[in-house]
Structure 1
Amino acid sequence: MNTRNWAWIGAVATFLLAAGAYYAVGQVYSDAKAIDLINQLSRAGLYFGSAMATASATTLALMLTLIGMAHRAEAEFGPDFYRNIYRISRLATATLLGSVVLLLLLTLPVGEFQGLSDMWFIWLYRVLFALIGTLSALLVATVLLVFTTVRDVIINITPSDMI
């Protein structure tokens, strides 16, 4: 199976899991409690967003290291290898940018917004949950693509009797 397929399968599965969690929470809580849900989501979301930003920035730096290592290695790497590094870098960049947006949204003082309608809070909760689900899917896709790329590096630089 193509390495990109594993990344997409993991991303879709993660996104579906997040959608299931959203649906399950919606069955337990009514829309009237959206502000409470936002407050609960904000606590975990700040840690999650920070961890995602850190992981994405680290991944980008490691991709630069991997390119340098590939150039110095005696093995030949094909165009698919470099395409995977580019894909990983794009996913990590998207995750980093999404994490920054998530952190900015989570800094809104939601409890201080007295004059806004309940629908505003409901939509803010939906956007935050969708952003967290999307970022989770992007991270899973990135990790799976990194794994398959590292596997290719090991196969190319390790003698065949070692694998």
Structure 2
Amino acid sequence: MDINISGYTKRAIIGGVISLAFIGLGTLMLGNLSGYEAKVLIKSSLTGLNTLCNTIVLASATILALMLTLLGVSSGTNSKLKSDHYMHIMQIAKLDTAIFIASLLFFLVFNLPVTESENIPENYFDVIYYVTIGVSAILSSALIVVVLMLYNTIINIIKIIGLGRTDHPLIQSEEEGAS
């Protein structure tokens, strides 16, 4: 599978990595937790984690639906767009779909009553806590990547359609269209 990553996508990924590092730094500032402290923190943060997953699921589904409009605008333009534009949209759709599925699955996992279970040893709760924080950080950062990628796509469409740029790198020249 050949993955062509544009400069726009690389910048979006860098934005996601920066946000992930920021969230990770906040987690490190908490320091080490005992199993009991982690259990208490898990109990208090589960509502927020469920809300976060719900929000990411809703945002991902909305982005996918609005991308259909983006495709309609792209195909309705007078300018002939290169396949790179559609490949970029497809990359956004694939990543957004993966985030949607992962968020929905983790929403289900976060609804398991782990803090009420008597079978989980006390010292496992610190691992469970850090895993939940890691999952929420990765999902949030991935959604930031999708939004940044979508932003770049929208800016390109505005430049091509709204501002009428004929020299944009995503516009197919007449020579490219003939071949």
Q: With structure 1 as the length reference, what TM-score do the two structures score?
A: 0.90
Shift of 1:7: 0.8
Distance 2:12 2:35 in 1: 34
Alignment counterpart, residue 144 of structure 2, candidates 133, 136, 140: 140
Distance 1:108 1:120 in 2: 15
Distance 2:22 2:82 in 1: 35
Instruction: Give the structure 1 partner of residue 55 of structure 2.
Output: 51
Shift of 1:18: 1.6
Figure out how many residues of one structure are paired with residues of the other and give that number.
160
Distance 1:76 1:26 in 2: 55
Instruction: Give the structure 2 partner of residue 109 of structure 1.
Output: 113
Alignment counterpart, residue 17 of structure 1, candidates 14, 17, 22: 22
Instruction: Name the Cα RMSD after superposition.
Output: 1.7
Shift of 1:160: 4.6
1:91 paired to 2:101: no
Q: Equivalent residue of 1:26, what SS?
A: coil
Contact in 2 for aligned 1:42/1:106 (Cα 8 Å): yes
Distance 2:158 2:80 in 1: 12
Identical pairs, percent: 28
* Structure 1 stretch displaced more, 9-18 or 73-82: 73-82
* Structure 1 stretch displaced more, 73-82 or 5-14: 73-82
Unmatched segments (≥5 aa) in structure 2: 1-5, 166-179
Shift of 1:92: 0.8
Distance 1:24 1:159 in 2: 47
1:62 maps to amino acid? L
Distance 1:149 1:141 in 2: 12
Contact in 1 for aligned 2:16/2:142 (Cα 8 Å): yes
Unmatched segments (≥5 aa) in structure 1: none
Shift of 1:132: 0.3
Shift of 1:56: 0.3
Instruction: Give the structure 2 partner of residue 40 of structure 1.
Output: 44
Alignment counterpart, residue 80 of structure 1, candidates 71, 84, 90: 84
Contact in 2 for aligned 1:91/1:142 (Cα 8 Å): yes
2:8 maps to amino acid? T
Task: Give the 4+ runs in structure 1 shifted more than 4 A.
Answer: none
1:86 maps to amino acid? M
